[in-house]
Amino acid sequence: MVIQIVGVVGAGQMGNGIAHVCALAGYEVLLTDIDAEALEKGRETIEKNLDRQVSREKISDADRNEAMNRLSTTSTLADLGNCDLVIEAATEREEIKDKIFAELVPTLKPETILTSNTSSISITRLASKTDRPEKFLGFHFMNPVPVMSLVELIRGIATDEATFETAMGVVERLGKTAAVAEDFPAFIVNRILMPMINEAVYVLYEGVGDVRSIDKAMKLGTNHPMGPLELADFIGLDTCLAIMNVLHDGLADTKYRPCPLLTKYVEAGWLGRKTGRGFYDYRGDDPVPTR
């Protein structure tokens, strides 16, 4: 299977990062989003991040210009019909992903590979609702995509070998490294990471430490580059909660119960950096803990 044209569904933080690395790797990229403003913002973000790479001498001016020339945008999902590979990078909600695939599938070529950037949802279940479960797999990039070198590849129960090998080839062409995960809730990275973040929220909830103490302890005590609460704000508290719910529902183990304080922050709309407040308040010059 030869991949030449890549479609990316969703122009948010993950989607524009995926479009960025695909265009830079030489693929023709079609980025789509139902929100025209998000689509324009996504393109601007890609341009800004490419400029940053040029300024740091990671890429040349020619690389940057060629990548932007390979990038197109559309607000019409059906325009992705001619793509060889589609990577869905919409919100981490299964009903939204199902709706996208239902609308997209009738427009695709029979040989098109369909993938999801989901960080936790069952690939087998998503694939089963399409017409091509054998050509469907999980393609989970890490955030921020242009910087992080890992991609989790997740086979569904029906994913065939040719599809998997093609996806592995794409990962290599992007200059990234694949970690192959089985299709169980949250796969590898988030199966380990999210319970750690959730436990940090419990430590805050129970008054064992405040926000600064918890993050300082993990940064200086375990050499993490970012504290767990700071990282949760970066990821998005709604995404953290969604993944914990997938773990709790999918594995039926009380150790994955989301902390009530995490739920409370999400109910308040304090989702982290993207909303200006989470465990830190980002509305001033410097982040200030909210607890």
Positions annotated as catalytic residues are: 119, 140, 152, 190
Residues 6+ apart with CB under 8 A from 208: none
Identity (one letter) of the amino acid at 29?
Answer: V
DSSP letter string, 146-201: TT--EEEEEE-TT--HHHHHHHHHHHHHTT-EEEEE-SSTTTTHHHHHHHHHHHHH
From CA 126, how far away is CA 98, in angstroms rounded? 7
Cβ–Cβ under 8 Å, residues 152 and 138:
yes
Structure tokens, 151: 């991609």
* Residue found under tokens 């087998």: 124
